[in-house]
Every structure is written in C-alpha cells, then in structure tokens.
Amino acid sequence: MLPHLHGLSRRHLLAAGLVAPLWPLQAEAITTVAKTQALARHDLQFPRDLGSHPDFATEWWYITGHLRAGSADTGQREFGFQLTFFRSRVAATQGMRSAFAAKQLIFAHAAVTDVTGKKLWHDQRIAREGFGVAQASAQDSAVTLRDWSLVHDNPQYRAVAAGSGFQFALALTETQPLLLQGDRGLSRKGPDVKQASFYYSLPQLQVTGTLELEGRPMPVQGTAWLDHEWSQALMDPQAVGWDWIGMNLLDGSALTAFRLRDKAGNALWDGGSFRHPSMGAAPHVFSRGEVLFQAVRHWTSPLTRASYPVEWRVRTPADFYIVKAVIDNQELDSRASTGAVYWEGLSELFDSKGQLVGRGYLEMTGYASPLRL
C-alpha cells in the first residue's frame, strides 16, 4: 500500500555509495518533513501517469501474484511472488549541481513464497538513480535497478528479478481496465487531508513465464495484481503501521481493504474498494469506518519475535471475509535497503459462507517496530 522507507541514516547511504563522505546529508534528507499542501484531485493521464513523478517525495510500483507450476498428472506446485520498486526524492540534494548528487534513490524488494516447500525467498537492492544503474521513466512504467526491472509494453508488463536462490522472468497481460482508488485516483491515508496519495491498481493480470529456485527452472502461470502510488505526505504522527489486502477473486472481482493503526491497535483510518467485472471501470469505494480488521490467529517470528496476525476477519461493504496466510513465515527483513521489517505474503480469501473465493497478498507493517516514514 505504502512505501517502506524507514530509518535510513547517513551511514546506510555511505555504505551504499549514494552520497560522498563530505556531504552533510542527514536522514531527514530522504524522509522529508512535509511542507506540502493537500494534494488536489485531478484526472490522471495515461500512459504518462504510469511513469515516475520525480517531484513527489515517494513513489512505488508494487506487483504481487499467485503462480502454479506442473500439472495434475505430474503434480502441481504453488507459489507467490512480489516485486516492488520504490523511488525517493532526496530533498537536501535537489540544488546540487554535481552529477554524483543522490537526487533520487531507487530501492527494490523481490520475494518468492514456495507454498509446497513452506519457504520464503527474498532479496533487496538500493542505488541512486542514474549512471545506467537505476532508472525510472517519466513517460510510462519502466523501472530498472541493475538486473531487476518492471517494464510496461501495452498490453503487457515484464517483471524480472534474481536474488539469492531464486529468479523469475514473467509476462503479465492486462485483462481489465485500470482501477482508480479513492476519489478517482486520490486516496486518503489519514485524518489530515495532506495524508493522501495518487493511487491506482491493475488487478487480474494474467501471468506466464519462468520461475527458478536453486537452479531449477520451471514454467509458471497465474494471476497478479499491480499497485502504483505516489505521494508528498507522511503518515499520521499517531500511526505505527498498517494492514492491507489486495485480492483477485475467482469470479474476476477485485478487493482492496486497508487500515492504518495507532500503538493501541486501533484504526486511525481505513478504506478500500470492490469491483465486480459487471461494474465496468469504476469500483465501489469504501467510506471511512466501513472496513474493520479483526485478528483471528497470530504467528511469532523466530527472527524478530514480532507477533503478526496471519489470519484475519475483514468486514467490508462487499462481504465479511476471512484472510488466511498460505504459510505463516512470510516476514521480510529489508533493513539493508529501506530499513523496515514487515510481513508480506500470499494469502487466501474466504467469503462469509466459508468458500474460497480468491487469492492475493496481505501486507502488515509496524509489528516489529513502529514504522516511521
């Protein structure tokens, strides 16, 4: 839902080669204190708004999905995958003339959930934009970071990533129109009107390609979900994290639901949307107070000792749902790039009758420690 930019110090930047040692660049340079006014709603323009918005503080392209390999005869395996690119504008370097000034930072996370093997594979990248290492086009979705990329070539996206023990190369074909979240693309994220993002989704992408684990490639196919957001605002000062789901339903519907939490676990803000194929392009957008997350079962991470709700009861105007993680341990440690530890993984969606109706991703932040953007 939102970027995991958290706690990046000058030491992190120096270690990544993103600033020169004599530059007085401090952590606040990349987590800009908002002097911004509230974002004004305007009609998004495509394909331009598929691309980067470098004048905004933060931006991210986030793609997740459910994959299958094999057949009924040979035996099927199931997987989840995630590839996320973040762009962060470094406010303190914008006036510098040096080509080496880190004016935009590009981060990326990739992960694969092996459902059968009950294992999560993940990796991360960080670099300053430029020098042929990291780029984010302002014309269309085309983001690269070394050997990782997410590129739009209408009506298809291509996603490529390779980490420790895994790699994938996937083609993702659009089957539905863009879904504009919030007020026709302007999505509130908190009590203050400044806490908002421009936000659209592209659900029900059809996926084909190759997934490789420990040197063993396999053809895969499945369904994916893409989110793209950009914002000037920070989280509400009382917020410690959020819970979010993006679900592709088996009947072609798309469900989004989220809440931002305070330290007591109460919702500071909530929202989401539901779109059935019969509704055309426009979703039913949920109003404040219409989404309720209730934890059903927790799992404790052996690495961080954080306790995550891995089964939820989620009330929305569309239905009362149960969300269940396919495996409990889908915690990602990104302290070497964005600085956050969070849970993000493939999950199943059950309706109020207990029937499996969809699959997608559940994201939970602020459980290992309060998230600070």
Segment 270-285, tens digit of pLDDT: 999 999 999 999 999 9
How would you class 174 by CB atoms within 10 Å of its CB: exposed for 0-12, middle for 13-18, buried for 19 or more?
middle
Does residue 371 lie in a domain region?
no
CA dist 255 and 258 (Å) reads: 10
Of the chain, the percentage scoring pLDDT greater than 90 comes to 79
> Tokens in use for 51?
């691309």
Does residue 315 lie in a domain region?
yes
Three-state SS string across 238-283, please? Answer: CEEEEEEEEEEECCCCEEEEEEEEECCCCEEEEEEEEECHHHCCCC
- Please tell me whether the overall predicted TM-score, pTM, comes out greater than 0.75 for this model: yes
For residues 227 and 254, the answer to whether their CB atoms sit within 8 Å is no
Say yes or no to pLDDT of 12 above 50. no
> Tokens in use for 66?
């459910």
How would you class 43 by CB atoms within 10 Å of its CB: exposed for 0-12, middle for 13-18, buried for 19 or more?
exposed
Does residue 324 lie in a domain region?
yes
pLDDT band at residue 8 using 50, 70 and 90 as cut-offs: very low
Does residue 70 lie in a domain region?
yes
What residue numbers bound the domain in which 113 lies? 10-364
Does residue 5 lie in a domain region?
no
Average pLDDT taken over every residue of the chain:
89
Instruction: Specify the residue for token string 């919702």.
Output: 267
pLDDT of residue 35: 57
Say yes or no to pLDDT of 78 above 50. yes
Domain count of the chain? 1
pLDDT of residue 24: 30
Does residue 4 lie in a domain region?
no
Which CATH number goes with the domain that contains 360?
2.40.370.10
Does residue 3 lie in a domain region?
no
